[in-house]
Each structure stands twice: as C-alpha cells, then as structure tokens.
Structure 1
Amino acid sequence: MPIYQTRGELPRKRHQVLRRPDGELYREELVGNYGFNGPSSLLYHTEQPTAVVDTRWVADMTPVQAPSKDHRNRHFRTSPIPHGGNWVQQRTPLLFNDDVVISIARPTEAGDFCYRNGEGDELLYVADGEGVLETAFGLIEYRREDYLVIPRGIVHRLVPKQGVEHCVLVHEFRGHVTTPRRYKNQQGQLKEGSPFSERDLRTPQDLFQRSGPATVMVKHAGQLHEYSLAHHPFDVVGWDGYYFPYAFNARDFEPLVGRYHLPPPVHQTFEAEGAVICTFAPRPFDFGEGAIPAPYAHSNAMSDEVIFYASKEFMSRKGVEYGSITLHPDGVPHGPQPGKTEASIGATWTDELAIMCDTFRPLKVAEGAVEYEDEGYFTSWVE
C-alpha cells in the first residue's frame, strides 16, 4: 500500500542508535517483499527477533487434487464444514492453483502460537465473526464482512471473540495483494472516483508488548514448521513504513452503477499475481429504459470464476445459499439461471453481498471439497 504509517518510538534517522531505558540497543527488523525493492517497514524490537531456540516440522499443508478431474461448473455448500480449532491448522482447502489456495476456516480458538505465512500474502474475508488481529504492528479489531490483508512474512495471531461463531474465507496468494493499479495515480494514491479511499482502510493501532518465549508457526513451500523463539515477536516499541496489515469492510465499497449492465471489473477491490478479487455489494440496479440488471451469459475466456455468496440473495443465481461457493471454469459458458433474467427486469435494488475471485490459471478441486459438492449444479441451467 502506498501509505506511510508510523507508530511508537523511533530514532530520527533509519539505522541510527535507539536505546532501551537500561542502555541496551533496540533491535531493528526490516519486513518487506521483493528483496529490498518492494514496500517495507522498519520495526524496533526490545530483543533480537532472530533468536531461535528450536524448530520442528509440523504438517504438510499442500492441497491434494480430488481424484475426479471432470471439467464442469461446480457448487460447494460450505455450511457443513465443522467449527473447531485455530485459524491456521483447521483450514479446509477447496480450490487451488499455483497462484492461490482458497479455503474455509471456522476457528473457535486462537491457539497458543503466532503465525507467519512465508510463501504468500493472505486475504481473509470474515463472513461471520469478530475479534482481534494481533500483530507486531499493533492491533486491528475485526468484525463481520471485513477483509483482512496480511502481507507475506508478517507475524500475526487471529483471536476470535469467545462465543461468536466464525466463518472465514481464506485466500493465500503467491503474489502481493494490493489495490487495483487503475484506481491509483502516479504517486500511488487512490484517485477520486475509485470505489473506496485510504480513509476506508483500518491500519494497526495500539502497539502492545509481549515478552518471554514464544511459538511461531511458519508456512513455507507448503510445509508448516514450528519455531520456538527466545523472545516474543510482539515486543515492538515502534515502526514506520509502507508494509503492514490492514482491514477493509465490504460495506465500505461504493459500487459503480450505470444505465445498463456494467461488467464485473467495476466491482474489483484487490489484485494479486494471477488473480483479482471483486466485491458485489448492495447497490441500485441499472436504471436505463428496458435495462436488464442480470448479467448476460458469458464464457470465461482465460479465467476461472469463483464466487463466495456472503448473503442469501444473488440476482443471477438460484439454488445457492449463504456460504455457498461456485466455480465456473474457463471454457464453459455460464450466466443467469432460468427465470433470473426475467425476474431482474424492473428491479431497482439488490442487497446481495458476494466475493468473487477470478484466476488466470485453471483451478483444481481439492480432495476435501468433494464431500461438500452439489453434484447436480452443472445441470441447473436446463429449464
């Protein structure tokens, strides 16, 4: 994000001496991506962040492709995915390729560890739930319908509020998640006319410190490893830079509408290497004379389309439910199901809320997704 942030105690110059009250040095840590060429932030720790006491391998997190490789439109009902466990180890992968893994998590606890994804950025959509995202950069309180953007390498801990059911749509991207380039000027600021602005993004607040030993789970090359650290990674007294986690609520997306139907890119919210994310937010329908609000049938040339239905309503689809996920792959046309085009004519408003991920490489169905599939979905366009 092209936004400069600063928190806590800092020396006047980068890489300049900054001492603790006892005279010892605070320890710098540069966190960023693309080596030393991408966005970064500089953190000041009370103790050395590199003091590793022990490591051990925990699990293979690589998704496994389902045996059936049928090429068809698919529908997964995710509501039966069980609640339990933490937000890292209890993820159920549904779809994946070399650019992204799409999973559902229903955590009931934070776990006694922090987490660092060492192979990609994470984009979480909190369909249900509320709590606190703890990071070395500070706290972010999250709520229902929040996106949480957590760049690669940032240590964090998702702490669900007790007694509040969670459903989290998880995207793990190989590339950096950012706001769309077409929304930004040469300086990187979101332009007037974009569907949201920097004012809508909630950055970490309230630096807090933890001390003593800590456990950090690190994901790298599909493997989950446990690191035992001599010092807690949340012992930061100050930081500044351009690389940090943030939250954005889907209800703060300002939809672009026209007299006649506009294509899905007007709903784009984020982009990453090999994929885009769109938010279909509540909005007025197309208002031209004779306008057809429902989308026209289309073939997904060079992309696979995944939609997570975050409300019970969706103007062009029937047979889906809250929490459903559909996959419409490249090479197969899809569009409104029978009766939905006619039903949309004359409608003035939709309360739908859905999250779409379009990928530019084919997606594979994960082994664990099969038991949640509505196997007859691909025939649902037959009248």
Structure 2
Amino acid sequence: MPHYVKLGNVPPKRHTQFRKEDGGLYYEQLMGTKGFSGIQSLIYHINPPTQVKAVKKIKDIHYEWEEKDALKHRHFGTASVESGGDFLEARVMFLGNEDLTIGVARPTQSMPYFYRNGEGDELIFVHEGEGKIESIFGELSFYPGDYLIIPIGTTYRVVLETSEARFLVVESNSEIVPPKRYRNAHGQLLEHSPFCERDFRVPERLEAKDERGEFEVRVRAQGMLTSYLYDFHPLDAVGWDGYLYPYAFSIHDFEPITGRVHQPPTVHQTFEGHNYVVCSFVPRLYDYHPLAVPAPYVHSNVESDEVLYYVAGEFMSRKGISEGSITLHPSGLPHGPHPGKMEGSIGKKETKELAVMIDTFRPLRVVKQAHSYEDPNYMYSWLP
C-alpha cells in the first residue's frame, strides 16, 4: 500500500547538497509518475544514473494475436508450460488488450542482468517458489501467495532461492493500486477494507553497491527492449524516500467478506488498474441463509471479460480445471457453475479454494502461442 517510506540515508532537506565522505555530491534522482503530479520518490545515487557506457537494441516487443473467430469460453492449462531461463526469458503470455497482458513464467535461474519496465506497472503473483526482488529501493523477499507490485521505471531483478518457481504475470499499461472505495481522501485504508497497511511489506534492506565492472540493464520502452551497459553497479542508492517503490501483499492476508447469501465478485477485489480489476478468491465460510445456494449464480459479462487463474483447492463452481489453469469467459456470453455444482454446494460450510481473478473492461485477445495449452472442449463442458 503506497504510504511514505524512508530507507537508508537522505539529507534533511530535499534538493540540497548531500555530500559523500570524500566531499563529492551524491546524485539526486526524482522518480515519479504522471509528470510531476503522481506519486514519486527521491533516490540518492553514488554515480550519475545518466552515465551509460553502451546501448543496443535487443528486439521489438509484440505479441502475435490469433485471428478473430467464434466467441467462446476458453481454458488454458499453464501447468504444462516448460520451465527454464530467468524471470524475463521465461514469460509466456496468453491474453492481452490495450491495457494489460497476462501470462505465466516458470524460471529456473536468477536474472544475471537487471530489468526496467518503462511502459507500466507489473503485478507478479507468486504461485510457487521463494526468493527476493533486488531493486534500486532495496531487497524485498517473496513467498508463495505473494502479490508483488513493481512500479513503472523500477530497476530490479528476480533472484530465486528455490530451484524452480511459478508466477502469474500481469504487464500493465497503467498504475496498479488498491481499490478507491477502500481508501479515504488521504489514501488511508478504511475499516471496511479486506486488508490494512500492516499487511503490506516494503523493501527490507538497502545496501548501496559501490562496485565497478560491467552491468547490464534491459529496458522496455516504446515497444522495444533495449540493453544499456554501465561501468558501475546500478543498485548504488544510499537512500531514498517517498511513495513510489515495490511492495508485497500476501493473498493469505486477504480477509474475505461474506454474507447470508452469495456475494458478488466485487467483494473479492484486491487491486485495480485502468480498465481492469484484480480479485482474490480465498478460503472462506459459505453463505449462512437457511436457503442459500453457495455456488455463484449464472451471470452475463456484458461489459467485461473474466479471467481466472486457479492456484489451489477445489473451485466451487468448476469441473475439469487444475492448478495453473487459466479460464477466459468473454463479454457477451453468460457463464456460471458447471452442471451439478449448484446442488452440490448446498449445505456445505466452507470452501478452501485459492484463485486470482482479473476482470477487464475491454475485450481480451488470445496470443497464438497459447493454443498449444488450450482445452478445445471447454466451451461444451456445461452440457449434461
């Protein structure tokens, strides 16, 4: 949750002299969004972050979308995505539109270089694996169930502390924030929010790297991936303060909102971006009206596409899915529980499901490479 944080050493007054032990000046960098009107942090570097040794274009970034065909519900089994490579190389994207792209990654090694997304925030959901994010803001450890929010422009790399990991990845073209209805005019989370500031973890340790050598930062910007070589370590900040930094929130700290009858998906909302929301389905008690039907009612997505990423447990309304499955229920088509799931839910007291849902308010397109992971019979799985 963005709130004021200070880590390391900063001068008493911003934009004033801040000197090293040898008398030289530290280099102050303002990192902010929306020009000078969004959230921002001030970072103090040992070396000038503008100093680059070499630059080279790596590739254009584009996704090969499938041609439009009959509108239908889709199911992709991402558990069979091959593991290998580092966090950036391992990304396999499945869905996207003008606002975001959604995919998975199964890296097996730490990143030997650093990465900076200059086109938008990133949301990383940790399905499996442990490690840390090393960034210009310090180290942020992660564990299964964590959401990691990486702000636009953050120089970072993913360091694995397990032999393998599995991530759900959202590349956003806008900032990712907690829902507005859970915040007051000052940005503080309100009492009816399913989480509070204590649940959010910020970078834990800042250690300025005063090292010489050859260090690569790969930057995504303007539809390209570009390599920049520096002769000093890019994580050379001695201190920073502000509201812009990576943070972690565990899905296990989401406190579900329940009721006498089935609650709409909006009560599960955890984050929002421009034209989309992210929701968390977590273990919870079922509805307690004596005639309640815990399974969701059929609903029509007349203005949004619904994506579900299944993490663990038995999802109350679905058959034929497994851990790592992604389902897409597009706008224009009604969807709801599979046959037998409504009756089967009656009388049950709780669910142990764990899933991440992303609702988009513009239609999603399917990346062609996703076809090899698709279950072509999913559309017909509601037949008796």
Match of 1:171 in 2: 170
Give structure 1 stretches of 5+ with no counterpart.
none
Matches of residues 59-208 of structure 1 in structure 2 within 5 Å?
59-67=59-67, 69-163=69-163, 165-208=164-207
Percent same amino acid among aligned pairs? Answer: 48
Aligned partners of 1:130 and 1:144 also within 8 Å: yes
Q: SS of the counterpart of 2:370?
A: helix
Q: SS of the counterpart of 1:230?
A: strand
The code of the aligned residue for 1:169 comes to L
Superposition TM-score, scaled by structure 2 size:
0.98
Matches of residues 39-50 of structure 1 in structure 2 within 5 Å?
39-50=39-50
Match of 2:347 in 1: 346
Q: What do residues 280-336 of structure 1 show as CA deviations (whole Å, max 9, x unaligned)?
A: 011001111110110000110110000000014100011000000000000011000
Q: SS of the counterpart of 1:371?
A: helix
2:368 pairs with 1:367? yes
Match of 1:226 in 2: 227
C-alpha distance in 1 between matches for 2:326 and 2:53: 42
Match of 1:302 in 2: 303
Per the alignment, do residues 70 and 110 of structure 1 end up closer, same or farther by CA in structure 2, a change over 3 Å counting? farther
C-alpha distance in 2 between matches for 1:238 and 1:2: 18
Q: What do residues 218-243 of structure 1 show as CA deviations (whole Å, max 9, x unaligned)?
A: 11133211111232221111100000
Superposition TM-score, scaled by structure 1 size:
0.98
Q: What do residues 51-104 of structure 1 show as CA deviations (whole Å, max 9, x unaligned)?
A: 111111112331110246331000000011000001112210100000000011
Matches of residues 250-329 of structure 1 in structure 2 within 5 Å?
250-329=251-330
C-alpha distance in 1 between matches for 2:10 and 2:30: 14
C-alpha distance in 1 between matches for 2:92 and 2:60: 13
Q: What do residues 33-54 of structure 1 show as CA deviations (whole Å, max 9, x unaligned)?
A: 1011100000000111111111
C-alpha distance in 1 between matches for 2:69 and 2:274: 25
C-alpha distance in 1 between matches for 2:296 and 2:379: 18
Q: SS of the counterpart of 1:19?
A: coil
Aligned partners of 1:48 and 1:231 also within 8 Å: no
Deviates more, 1:1-10 or 1:281-290: 1-10
The code of the aligned residue for 1:175 comes to S
Match of 2:12 in 1: 12
Match of 1:28 in 2: 28
Aligned partners of 1:260 and 1:292 also within 8 Å: yes
Aligned partners of 1:139 and 1:205 also within 8 Å: yes
C-alpha distance in 1 between matches for 2:287 and 2:313: 21
Aligned partners of 1:51 and 1:231 also within 8 Å: no
Aligned residues: 382
The code of the aligned residue for 1:192 comes to E
The code of the aligned residue for 2:165 comes to H
Aligned partners of 2:130 and 2:162 also within 8 Å: no
C-alpha distance in 2 between matches for 1:96 and 1:129: 25
Aligned partners of 2:28 and 2:42 also within 8 Å: yes
2:246 pairs with 1:245? yes
C-alpha distance in 2 between matches for 1:289 and 1:143: 39
Deviation at 1:216, TM superposition (A): 0.4
Aligned partners of 1:125 and 1:146 also within 8 Å: yes
Q: SS of the counterpart of 2:43?
A: strand
Aligned partners of 2:203 and 2:247 also within 8 Å: yes
Instruction: Provide the alpha-carbon RMSD of the alignment.
Output: 1.0
Deviation at 1:2, TM superposition (A): 4.2
Q: SS of the counterpart of 1:152?
A: coil
Aligned partners of 2:129 and 2:161 also within 8 Å: yes
